[in-house]
Amino acid sequence: MLRMGVSSLFGDLDVDATPDAPLGPMTWYGIGGRADLLIRPRSVESLATLVKRCARTATPLRVLGSGANLLVADSGVDGIVVHLDQPAFREVRFNQDGEINAMRAMAGADLAKTLMESVRRGVGGLTHMAGIPASIGGAIRMNAGGKYGTIGEAVRSVTCITKAGEIVSYPAEELRFEYRSTNIPDPVIVAATFTMHEGDPIRLREEVKEIFAYKKTTQPLADSSAGCTFRNPFDPTTEKTVSAGKLIEEAGLKGEAIGGASVSERHANFIVTQPGTPTDDVLRLLDRIEAKVFETSGLELQREIVIWKRGESDASRIDPHADDE
């Protein structure tokens, strides 16, 4: 639990604070424990001060995005969880002078809603992100993407808060967007700008519909899951990336279940859960999958989903997104 006097970290800031806040319902799995303290800042300035104070006092700080790629342990998490769902962190702006060629979105903005608003305006640049549930900040942190491309391809700049509470911006040329990762060094992303272009709204909608149609036939969209569970590993013998879902299926694990957690019959890289499933069921199933895939293929799977546990914090991580293969 939080130490006495922790209110000194946020008591004078413009924030909403909820002690012992349930996190499970805020994730796509819908399971898991509670946060010692959930804070929803109302301004960038308050967030920057909070980040600086947490770093100075070694108070664990985690940033919750859309919860689409997150598993929270039943024991919950210590320290402070920040959720950027207030209006100041959900704003999206398009440049209005002449041809639209840029967009600025705050980190808490919903990726899907931002994409559909741009399509409605006849603005292209993010249609390849259709069907990926994420906040803007989370999508950038892990370079969300899939078959049709990644968000990094459209990024023009990213604004962050350092551990010292300073607000800094990085142009795209200074950033590396790699497979499910970026080189952003700071604990909190607060905003990003994107390179956009004007287009035909009807044609843009058709692009989005095409991607959704593909995902509907290949992914268990109606089930409780956190998207793809494992990263696609690199096979040194063929010098190619291999589909994690294919490896899991070839290991005979489709439908494999432990308690309320099971490998999806539709897409083997999705683990789905039943209401009330203990997170330990998911963790034990992850271990079983990793061991079986290594036994059958010789390849080690790396987990794509983010797992939060009490006593294990990494202030540089933000709960990201769910991606696809």
pLDDT at 244 over 60: yes
d(CA 241, CA 305): 19
pLDDT above 70: percentage of residues in the chain: 90
Q: In terms of domains, do 77 and 96 share one?
A: no
pLDDT for res 180: 86
Position 98 confidence tier, pLDDT thresholds 50, 70, 90: low
Options 160, 304, 310, 325, the catalytic residue:
304
Split into its structural domains, the chain has a count of 3
Q: What is the pLDDT of residues 56-83, one digit of tens each?
A: 999 999 999 999 889 999 999 999 999 9
pLDDT at 227 over 90: no
Q: In terms of domains, do 63 and 141 share one?
A: no
The arithmetic mean of pLDDT across residues 184-199, rounded, is 96
Burial (CB count <10 Å: 0-12, 13-18, 19+), residue 196: buried
Q: What is the CATH number of the domain that holds 236?
A: 3.90.78.10
pLDDT above 90: percentage of residues in the chain: 80
What SS3 class is residue 186? Answer: coil
Q: In terms of domains, do 196 and 170 share one?
A: yes
Residue 160 falls in the annotated catalytic set = no
Position 7 confidence tier, pLDDT thresholds 50, 70, 90: confident
Query: Is the separation of the CB atoms in 299 and 233 below 8 Å?
Result: yes
Q: In terms of domains, do 199 and 99 share one?
A: yes
d(CA 188, CA 278): 29
- Which one of 68, 87, 106 terminates a domain? 87
Query: Is the separation of the CB atoms in 291 and 55 below 8 Å?
Result: no
Options 180, 231, 310, 325, the catalytic residue:
180
The arithmetic mean of pLDDT across residues 128-139, rounded, is 93
Domain residues for the domain of 166 are 90-204
Q: In terms of domains, do 132 and 193 share one?
A: yes
| Cβ neighbours of residue 107 closer than 8 Å, sequence gap 6 or more | 84, 89, 135, 136, 137, 138, 140, 188, 189, 190, 191, 192
Q: What is the pLDDT of residues 299-313, one digit of tens each?
A: 999 999 999 999 886
Q: Is residue 277 part of a domain?
A: yes
Burial (CB count <10 Å: 0-12, 13-18, 19+), residue 136: buried
Options 53, 104, 228, 325, the catalytic residue:
228
Q: In terms of domains, do 47 and 98 share one?
A: no
Average pLDDT value for the chain: 90
Q: Is residue 213 part of a domain?
A: no
Residue 166 falls in the annotated catalytic set = no
Query: Is the separation of the CB atoms in 254 and 302 below 8 Å?
Result: no
Position 315 confidence tier, pLDDT thresholds 50, 70, 90: very low
